[in-house]
Structure formats: structure tokens, C-alpha cells
């Protein structure tokens, strides 16, 4: 570890201090008048023979000056030669006598008076002793301890002792060999990050027209999709230093350590610009402050760290070429303050790869693996929807290990199959593997939603359809993009929403003649909306404008369940019937729509099953029945 600038300053200051102290000690010892220690009896003898000029009394000692020639020469001492060299030697006339405890002060004073010795009392000034014991030794000990700690830093497990100073472990300025070639299957994210690389390489180009280079880039995506890998690749491509720090490392014992680390990190980064500061697992520090729970200490610590991070982000200027990247798989828990423009104002989404992406990742990771001729990575990719890059890397590795254990010359398809089973078992249903039939159903279901959404008059346009499993319940997903923010919905808009929700189920029914459990969530939401139409929005002729709900005051609702119903049993039945009628009516409408477009539905579903995710132009064309 190269000591950083401020550390070097601290070191030299400490050394200078020690040297100055030593020199001054030496000087005082050399230049102080020399003295001899004489016994009390000798002192009395000198006093009574009038050979003493003056004395100073302290409690324990008498120091004095004898008349010339009265004292014996002092014994030789180290440093005599130096003293001779410094100046002509003078006769030693100063003496020191240790007083006998309990000696009669009165008599001594009287005797001094009779012999006309000039005398004075003196408070024992132990200046040099004080300096030695009060300063030099404690200071020396402190310096020793401090140097000991400094040595532990950087190498030791005693992280807490470093108090936020830089450490290898944290600021990993690796030889970055990672490039975009090491990342596959996440082309959209890559394309966005290419721009960041360019910012780092040619900041001038972008500032020429007055633009501001983004400060923070937040990489968002499920675990194992390659977020950390991408951040490294950006640094590797741009050929700049890479400071990395994991949010979880901020969870420290001492409040303030995290904040100190952040400060230190940015201080270093500014020295090394252009560079990338990468904060992995940002959610560990960036959790919403208001909703944060946990014991008080931990909470405080995180809040301080977060505040420091915000302050640092505001306090530097991205034109210097420091770009902050952060990764999280839980963007929804992040504090809003982090996502504000001027902080992490760019978001790059890294999704789980679709089938072609998975094949590319498998290919990438089997570069170094000896594959048997029969191995078809495309088939493996097709079998692993919902797998993230890390899972796929794992599969390749497992397969290679399995083949090696069986002492095969190369990795065969059977090994991959077994590896998939193992990895799936390890994933414990975190991502499920769908059978071919199931994927077929999901594809038709999702296309049903999408097709209805494009066919009705008031639905938000569909921008993406996927059959890659995500989250806990969804096997597929149809994303609709609202064209504007909606605060009000008209009746026909609500009806069309319900229609879109029912589209999935109706499509299954049309194609397979029976329905699956996959529409469970859709039906729940559709029913909810229909019920709101009847009971809250007054959109049903039969029940009129009245609203129906619980009688308990508003503020009591929710927490303890509902209050009493404020309507009769007859009304309750009417509501149920009306909800049912709305749903039935809408289902008929959807059935009509989809029957008319069944060919489009089947074709689009087949395409979706093949590519797993559809968006943009291809999706639009498929839904329009072209191509």
C-alpha cells in the first residue's frame, strides 16, 4: 500500500516532533551548568569554613554555588568531550546536596545567616523532569501505539481500528482486465454504459455544448445478472482506476465509521480522477431514512453514511471525471434523495437475459471448457428461462466438474442436463423452469393481454411482453406504458382495463379450450376494479350513485379489519351480481375481439415463445398482424 498524501504528512510531523524533543533534551543537558553531588556532611563542612557563596533550598535538595576551588572535580561523564569542543571548560562550582529528612529548617537557616551565605527558598522546579515524564514518554508511547496501528491497517483483520482510513480490502484498485467482452446477453445495459465509458474518455466532447456529465449511474437488476461485472467492465474499457466499496461493508460497529469511509473514498477518488467510484449493494446504506427500522445504532450509522454520501455527491464536480456507479437489486427501497437529478440521475436496467442472451453467456463461460461435439448451447439456453448470468456461469462450471469427475475427455450434453438440475435444486424455486407446454400457455396468455390492449380504444399501449419468470408469482408479464399520468379514469377506460386483464385467460381458453391457474392474479385485480365501479364510483345503473362500504369512521378502517357494512343483505347481493355482470359482459367482449384475431394471437405467441421477450417495432408489427 502506498501511503497516501495526508498519511505521509502525518508521519513526517510525528518524526519531526520526536527529533525536536530529542534535540532540546540534548541541548539542555549539554548547556546546563555542570554540578557535583556532595554529601550533607561535606556541605556542612564547606558552610562552616565559609566556602559557600549562595544556596537555594527546596524540600528535598539544596543546590548551591561554592567559592572557587572549593569543590572536588566531578567524575568524568559521557559528553565531556563534546562539551570541551563546545566551549572552554569552566570550573565546576555548582553542587547539589540531598537534604536529610526531618532536618531542622530553623537551625539551617540560622547557620546560613551566620556565615553570610546568600540563600533563597525555591519551589522545586522540575521542568525537565516534567517535560520528560509529562510529555516525552507519554508522547513516545502514543506515537508507538499509533505506528503499531498504522502497520496493522491494510493487512489485518482489525478493520475497526482503522477508523475509516483507506484499506486494500475496500478500495480495490485492481488491475482491471474486465471489458465488455466479458459481459454477454445484456446488450441494452451495455449500450448505455458505452456512453459512460465515452464520458470518461472524452469529457471535453460532451461539455463542449454546455452539457453536464452525469454524476451517478445506478445499475439496477436482479441478483446475478452481472451488475458488478458491468461496473468493472466500464472501468476496464475506459482504462481508469476503479474504487469499489460494498454497501454492506458500511455496517460497522462504530457510528461515524461509514461516513469517514465515504469521505476518504471520495478524497482518494478526486486525487485519481478520471476514475470510477463503484458502490455495490447501495441499498445497504441507501435505504429510505424514514422507513428504516432496526436497532437505533445501526440506523444512525446508516443515516450518517447516507448523508455523507449525499454531501460528497453534491460536493464534487463531474467535469473532473469522477463518475459514481452504484448497483442495487432493490431500487424501490432507496431513499428518494439518492435518485434526485444531480446524484444517481442515470439508471441502467440489467434484466435477466432472454434466450439468445443466455446462449451468449453460456458461450462466453464455456470458452475455456472442452465441449463435446454434440453440445448445443442453444438448447441449454432454451431450457433455462429465468436464469441470471451467474446461474448460467454456475451451470457451465458444474457441467465441467461433473464431466471431470467421470473422467470424460470433454463435457457432454448429459453433463449440462445434470448441471441444470443441480443448479435448479440449489436455486430452490427462486426461478422455476417451465415445461414446454407451460411456456406455450404463458406465451398465449401474455399475448392475449397484449392483443386486447392494442385492440380496445382506451388501454395504455403495450411496450413489452415477456415470458421470462420474474418475481414470486408472475410467469410472464405484459408491460403497458401509460401515455400520460392518470388521476381520473373514465368509465370506458376502466372497462377497457378490465378487458385487458381478462385477455390472458380468454386467450388460453380460445387456444386450448380450457383454462389454467395462471390467470389467478388477473381475475383478482379485475374483480377489484369491477367492485370499485359498483360500490365507489357510481358507475352501475342498477346500484345508482350511492357508495357502499363500511360504516366505521375512516380513521378506524384498515387496521382492525372492516367495520360494519352500511348496506342491507339485499344490496350486498345486488353488488355481487352487478360485479359479476360487468365481468361477464367484458369477457364476452374480449372473447369477440380475440376470436376475430386468433391467427394473429397464435402467430405472435409462437414468436414470443421463441424469443421470450418482445418489444419495440417487432412487437408492434406482430400485434398489428403484419409479418
Q: At what angle do helices 616-623 and 436-455 cross, to 10 degrees?
A: 80
**Residue 179 CB burial class (10 angstroms; 0-12, 13-18, ≥19):** middle
| Smallest distance, Mg ion to C-beta of residue 190, A | 16
Q: In whole angstroms, how far apart are CA 145 and each of 6, 138, 149, 329, 515?
A: 19, 10, 6, 42, 75
Q: Return the number of the residue (398 or 446) whose C-beta is nearest Zn ion.
A: 446
Pairing of strands 322-328, 275-280: parallel
Q: Is 381 in the site for ligand ADP (CB under 6 A)?
A: no
x-or-dash string of contact with ligand ADP, 386-425, rule CB under 6 A: ---xx--x--------------------------------
Pairing of strands 118-121, 275-280: unpaired
Residue 386's binding partner among Mg ion, Zn ion, ligand ADP, none (Cβ under 5 to 8 angstroms by kind) is none
Q: Distance between CA 51 and CA 159 in Å, rounded?
A: 68
Check: CB of residue 21 under 8 Å from CB of residue 57.
no
- Residues numbered 342 to 371 that lie near ligand ADP (CB under 6 A) are 361, 364
Q: In whole angstroms, how far apart are CA 622 and each of 465, 612, 618?
A: 12, 14, 6
Q: Distance between CA 126 and CA 122 in Å, rounded?
A: 11
Q: Return the number of the residue (364 or 427) whose C-beta is nearest ligand ADP.
A: 364
Residues with Cβ < 8 Å from 143, sequence gap 6 or more? 14, 17, 18
Among 522, 540, 613, 619, binds Zn ion (CB under 5 A): 522
Check: CB of residue 18 under 8 Å from CB of residue 140.
yes
Residue 286's binding partner among Mg ion, ligand ADP, Zn ion, none (Cβ under 5 to 8 angstroms by kind) is none
- Contact stretch for Zn ion (CB under 5 A) within 200-208, 321-329, 516-524, 526-534: 516-524
Count of residues that interact with ligand ADP, criterion CB under 6 A: 18
| Smallest distance, ligand ADP to C-beta of residue 354, A | 12
Residue 225's binding partner among Mg ion, ligand ADP, Zn ion, none (Cβ under 5 to 8 angstroms by kind) is ligand ADP
Residue 448's binding partner among Mg ion, Zn ion, ligand ADP, none (Cβ under 5 to 8 angstroms by kind) is none
- Residues numbered 299 to 328 that lie near ligand ADP (CB under 6 A) are 327
* Helix and strand element counts for the chain (H, E): 23, 13
Q: Determine the straight-line distance between the first and last CA of the chain, rounded to whole angstroms.
A: 62
Among 224, 236, 331, 518, binds ligand ADP (CB under 6 A): 224
Strands of 247-370 (E only): list them.
Answer: 275-280, 322-328, 346-349
Q: Distance between CA 364 and CA 574 in Å, rounded?
A: 62
x-or-dash string of contact with ligand ADP, 162-201, rule CB under 6 A: ---------------------xxxx---------------
Residues with Cβ < 8 Å from 222, sequence gap 6 or more? 329, 350, 351, 352, 388, 470
- Contact stretch for ligand ADP (CB under 6 A) within 12-20, 64-72, 80-88, 219-227: 219-227
- Contact stretch for ligand ADP (CB under 6 A) within 224-232, 249-257, 340-348, 432-440: 224-232
| Smallest distance, ligand ADP to C-beta of residue 491, A | 44
446 is catalytic: yes
Q: Distance between CA 183 and CA 389 in Å, rounded?
A: 9
Q: Return the number of the residue (371 or 494) whose C-beta is nearest ligand ADP.
A: 371
Q: Distance between CA 111 and CA 122 in Å, rounded?
A: 18
Q: Is 504 in the site for Zn ion (CB under 5 A)?
A: yes
| Smallest distance, Mg ion to C-beta of residue 246, A | 8
| Smallest distance, ligand ADP to C-beta of residue 390, A | 3
Residues that bind Mg ion (CB under 5 A): 228
Question: Which single residue brings its beta carbon nearest to Mg ion?
Answer: 228
Q: Is 229 in the site for ligand ADP (CB under 6 A)?
A: yes
- Contact stretch for Zn ion (CB under 5 A) within 15-23, 150-158, 504-512, 554-562: 504-512
- Contact stretch for Zn ion (CB under 5 A) within 115-123, 195-203, 419-427, 519-527: 519-527
Residues with Cβ < 8 Å from 614, sequence gap 6 or more? 464, 465, 466, 604, 607, 608, 622
Residue 361's binding partner among Mg ion, Zn ion, ligand ADP, none (Cβ under 5 to 8 angstroms by kind) is ligand ADP
Q: Return the number of the residue (224 or 469) whose C-beta is nearest Zn ion.
A: 469
Q: Return the number of the residue (70 or 282) whose C-beta is nearest Mg ion.
A: 282
Residue 364's binding partner among ligand ADP, Mg ion, Zn ion, none (Cβ under 5 to 8 angstroms by kind) is ligand ADP
Q: Return the number of the residue (64 or 504) whose C-beta is nearest Zn ion.
A: 504
Residue 522's binding partner among Zn ion, ligand ADP, Mg ion, none (Cβ under 5 to 8 angstroms by kind) is Zn ion
Q: Distance between CA 28 and CA 126 in Å, rounded?
A: 13
Q: Return the number of the residue (188 or 528) whose C-beta is nearest ligand ADP.
A: 188
Q: Distance between CA 415 and CA 440 in Å, rounded?
A: 27
Which residue is catalytic, options 281, 398, 412, 446?
Answer: 446
Q: Distance between CA 65 and CA 72 in Å, rounded?
A: 13
Question: Which single residue brings its beta carbon nearest to ligand ADP?
Answer: 389
Q: In whole angstroms, how far apart are CA 72 and each of 36, 446, 562, 576?
A: 8, 113, 108, 123
For residue 371, the 8-state DSSP code is: B
Element (H, E) at 463: strand 462-466
Q: Return the number of the residue (228 or 308) whose C-beta is nearest ligand ADP.
A: 228
Q: Return the number of the residue (171 or 387) whose C-beta is nearest ligand ADP.
A: 387
Residue 282's binding partner among ligand ADP, Zn ion, Mg ion, none (Cβ under 5 to 8 angstroms by kind) is none
Q: Return the number of the residue (176 or 453) whose C-beta is nearest ligand ADP.
A: 176
Q: In whole angstroms, how far apart are CA 627 and each of 355, 617, 624?
A: 21, 11, 9
Kindly list the residues in this chain that would bind Zn ion in the complex (CB under 5 A). Answer: 504, 522
Site residues, ligand ADP (CB under 6 A):
183-186, 221, 223-229, 327, 361, 364, 389-390, 393
- Give the active site residues: 446
Amino acid at each position: 500500500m502506498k501511503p497516501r498524501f495526508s498519511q505521509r504528512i502525518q508521519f513526517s510531523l510525528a518524526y519531526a516532533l520526536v527529533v525536536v524533543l530529542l534535540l532540546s533534551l540534548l541541548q539542555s543537558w549539554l548547556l546546563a551548568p555542570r554540578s557535583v553531588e556532595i554529601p550533607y556532611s561535606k556541605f556542612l563542612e564547606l558552610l562552616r569554613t565559609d566556602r559557600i557563596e549562595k544556596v537555594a533550598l527546596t524540600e528535598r535538595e539544596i543546590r548551591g554555588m561554592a567559592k572557587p576551588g572549593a569543590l572536588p572535580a566531578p567524575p568524568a561523564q559521557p559528553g565531556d568531550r563534546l562539551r570541551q569542543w563546545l566551549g572552554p571548560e569552566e570550573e565546576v562550582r555548582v553542587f547539589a546536596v540531598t537534604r536529610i529528612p526531618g532536618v531542622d529548617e530553623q537551625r539551617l537557616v540560622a547557620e546560613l545567616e551566620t556565615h553570610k551565605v546568600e540563600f533563597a527558598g525555591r519551589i522545586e522546579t522540575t521542568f525537565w523532569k516534567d517535560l520528560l515524564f509529562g510529555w516525552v514518554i507519554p508522547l513516545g508511547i502514543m506515537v508507538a501505539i499509533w505506528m503499531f496501528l498504522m502497520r496493522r491497517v491494510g493487512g489485518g483483520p482489525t478493520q475497526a481500528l482503522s477508523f475509516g482510513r483507506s484499506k486494500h480490502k475496500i478500495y480495490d484498485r485492481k488491475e482491471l482486465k474486465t471489458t465488455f467482452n466479458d459481459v454477454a446477453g445484456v446488450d441494452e445495459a451495455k449500450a448505455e454504459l458505452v456512453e459512460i465509458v465515452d464520458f470518461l474518455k472524452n469529457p471535453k466532447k460532451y461539455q463542449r455544448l454546455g452539457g453536464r456529465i452525469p454524476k451517478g449511474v445506478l445499475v439496477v437488476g436482479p441478483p446475478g445478472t452481472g451488475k458488478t461485472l458491468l461496473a468493472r467492465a466500464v472501468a476496464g474499457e475506459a482504462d481508469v482506476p476503479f474504487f469499489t466499496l460494498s454497501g454492506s461493508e458500511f455496517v460497522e460497529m462504530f457510528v461515524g465509521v461509514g461516513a469517514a469511509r465515504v469521505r476518504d473514498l471520495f478524497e482518494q477518488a478526486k486525487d485519481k480522477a478520471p476514475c470510477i467510484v463503484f458502490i455495490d449493494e447501495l441499498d445497504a446504506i441507501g435505504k429510505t431514512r424514514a422507513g428504516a427500522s432496526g436497532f437505533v445504532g445501526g440506523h444512525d450509522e446508516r443515516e450518517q453514511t447516507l448523508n455523507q454520501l449525499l454531501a460528497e455527491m453534491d460536493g464534487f464536480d463531474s467535469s473532473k471525471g469522477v463518475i459514481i456507479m452504484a448497483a442495487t437489486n432493490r431500487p424501490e427501497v432507496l431513499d428518494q434523495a439518492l435518485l434526485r437529478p444531480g446524484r444517481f440521475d442515470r439508471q441502467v436496467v440489467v434484466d435477466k437475459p432472454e434466450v439468445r442472451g443466455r446462449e451468449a453467456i453460456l458461450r462466453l463461460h464455456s470458452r475455456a471448457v472442452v465441449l463435446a461435439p454434440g453440445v448445443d448451447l442453444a438448447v441449454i439456453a432454451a431450457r433455462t428461462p429465468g436464469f441470471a448470468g451467474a446461474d448460467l456461469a454456475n451451470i457451465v462450471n458444474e457441467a465441467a466438474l461433473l464431466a471431470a469427475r467421470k473422467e470424460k475427455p470433454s463435457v457432454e450434453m448429459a453433463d449440462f442436463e445434470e448441471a441444470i438440475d443441480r443448479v435448479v435444486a440449489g436455486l430452490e424455486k427462486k426461478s422455476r423452469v417451465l415445461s414446454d407446454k407451460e411456456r406455450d400457455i404463458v406465451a398465449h396468455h401474455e399475448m392475449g393481454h397484449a392483443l386486447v390492449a392494442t385492440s380496445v380504444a382506451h388501454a395504455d399501449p403495450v411496450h413489452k411482453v415477456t415470458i421470462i419468470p420474474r418475481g414470486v408469482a408472475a410467469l410472464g408479464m405484459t408491460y403497458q406504458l401509460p401515455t400520460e399520468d392518470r388521476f381520473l379514469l373514465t368509465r370506458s377506460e376502466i372497462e377497457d382495463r378490465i378487458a385487458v386483464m381478462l385477455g390472458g385467460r380468454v386467450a388460453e381458453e380460445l387456444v386450448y379450450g380450457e383454462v389454467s391457474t395462471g390467470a389467478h392474479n388477473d381475475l383478482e385485480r379485475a374483480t377489484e376494479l369491477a367492485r370499485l365501479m359498483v360500490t365507489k364510483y357510481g358507475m352501475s345503473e342498477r346500484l345508482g350513485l350511492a357508495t357502499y362500504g363500511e360504516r366505521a369512521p375512516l380513521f378506524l378502517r384498515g387496521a382492525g379489519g372492516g367495520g360494519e357494512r352500511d348496506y342491507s343483505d339485499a344490496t350486498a347481493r345486488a353488488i355481487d351480481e352487478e360485479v359479476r355482470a360487468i365481468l361477464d359482459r367484458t369477457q364476452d367482449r374480449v372473447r369477440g375481439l380475440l376470436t376475430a384475431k386468433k391467427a394473429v394471437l397464435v402467430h405472435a405467441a409462437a414468436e414470443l415463445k421463441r424469443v421470450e421477450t418482445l418489444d419495440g417495432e417487432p412487437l408492434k408489427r406482430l400485434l398489428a398482424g403484419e409479418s
